[in-house]
Amino acid sequence: MPIGPYQSPLALISDSETDHHHQALPETPAVAQAAAPAGLRLRGIDKRFGDNHVLKGIDLDVPVGQFVAIVGKSGCGKSTLLRLLVGLDEPTGGEISFYGEGGDTIEPNARIVFQEPRLLPWISVADNVAVGLGDGVSRQTGRQEAQRALAAVQLSEKAGDWPSKLSGGQRQRVALARALVSRPGLLALDEPLGALDALTRLGMQELVTDVWRELGFTAVLVTHDVGEAVHLADRVIVLDEGRISLDLEISQSRPRRHGDPVLAELEGKLLDTILGKA
């Protein structure tokens, strides 16, 4: 099923910082159960911005529940591809479809987390998380679901605080909770740990792994950090000038240790490909 004009809450947490009006929030389905994890099927995906031909006929299949990382040089089209996957933009050509565990075509519940948490400073942490549910949910349900999502990111005790009282890492955990609160079937992560210090980043990598394993969504991570990609993902894809130049499986069991020689070897192989030495 091609992605049509999009109607998800993504717009609220993605676009201009000033576009926080509540009328932007769409209705959301009931949140009592998790959305079906969504497998992805991309065929011949093209994206042009005027004369700039950014994505050139991408074919990609991502099985239900897989964790995929996308790496590549700056400007190679990583974020553009991610935005197409969650419906924030439309391809110029080709088709994107989604399927559930049984192989049936589904409409995915997709969410995205960006590098900047983009929290609303005038409402509490819990209310920021509840924003991810949209309008069609009672205040009480919103609070309950927000508490559940905050617990998943180990931030329950901050529910009543203002965002300004949080550290950078805590704010990003709130952004993750806001994305998780509607129990998405597809979670896109656009360099979500890029602004964090090294130690906080390592802690967040473990947290992301834990929530992914617990909640079972399909994850697509864009990162500049090849070490992070091999640490987190089942599979790493290298984009180069709008095409997939390497599709590498990372079969190492979890939990994964930083400094693992097998992962270091894979990281070297990815870097050689990205830098054109392979």
Ligand X SMILES: Nc1ncnc2c1ncn2[C@@H]1O[C@H](COP(=O)(O)OP(=O)(O)OP(=O)(O)O)[C@@H](O)[C@H]1O
Binders of ligand X among residues 217 to 256 (CB under 6 A) are 224
Q: Is 71 in the site for ligand X (CB under 6 A)?
A: no
By CB under 6 A, residue 79 contacts ligand X: yes
Q: Give the CA radius of gyration of the chain.
A: 18
- Among residues 74, 138, 140, 251, which is the contact residue for ligand X, using CB under 6 A? 74
Question: Position of tokens 């090294």?
Answer: 198
Nearest-angstrom CA–CA distance, 210 and 267:
22
Site size toward ligand X (CB under 6 A) is 12
> How near is the Cβ of 183 to ligand X at its closest, in Å?
27
Least separation in angstroms between residue 89's CB and ligand X is 7
Residues near 136 by beta carbon (within 8 Å), at least 6 away in sequence = 27, 28
Three-state SS sequence of 18-64: CCCCHHHCCCCCCCCCCCCCCEEEEEEEEEEECCEEEEEEEEEEECC
Using an 8 Å Cβ cutoff, are 221 and 68 in contact?
Answer: yes
Specify the residue, 87 or 163, whose C-beta has the smaller distance to ligand X: 87
Q: What is the DSSP letter of 227?
A: H
Q: Which residues on neighbouring strands pair with residue 53, listed in sequence order?
A: 48
Neighbour-count burial of 164, counting CB atoms closer than 10 A to its CB (0-12 exposed, 13-18 middle, 19+ buried):
exposed
- Cβ 66 to ligand X shortest distance, Å: 21
Q: Based on CB atoms, which residue is closest to ligand X, 74 or 251?
A: 74
**What is each CA distance from 244 to 90, 181, 268, 278, in whole angstroms?**
19, 32, 18, 14
Among 60, 76, 226, 229, binds ligand X (CB under 6 A): 76
Q: Which of 52, 95, 255, 278 binds ligand X (CB under 6 A)?
A: 52
Torsion of the alpha carbons at 50, 55, 61 and 64, rounded to the nearest 10: -60
Nearer to ligand X by Cβ, of 163 and 192: the residue is: 192
Among 13, 58, 69, 78, binds ligand X (CB under 6 A): 78
Q: Within the chain, what is the greatest distance between any pair of CA atoms?
A: 56
Judged by beta carbon, residue 82 or residue 131, the one nearer ligand X is 82
Q: Which is nearer to ligand X, 55 or 176 (CB)?
A: 55
Which residues 6+ apart lie within 8 Å of 27 measured at CB?
Answer: 134, 135, 136
Give the per-residue contact string, 165-184, with ligand X (x = CB under 6 A; - = no).
Answer: --------------------
Q: Which CB sits closer to ligand X, 71 or 208?
A: 71
| Run of H or E residues at 207 | helix 198-215
Least distance CB 271 / ligand X (angstroms): 15
Does residue 9 belong to the site contacting ligand X (CB under 6 A)? no
Among 54, 58, 96, 211, binds ligand X (CB under 6 A): 54
- Residue 49 in the binding site for ligand X (CB under 6 A): yes
Among 1, 15, 75, 122, binds ligand X (CB under 6 A): 75
**Of 78-86, 146-154, 212-220, 257-265: span binding ligand X (CB under 6 A):** 78-86
Rounded Cα distance, 194 and 120, in Å:
20
Interface contacts to ligand X, rule CB under 6 A: 49, 52, 54, 72, 74-80, 224
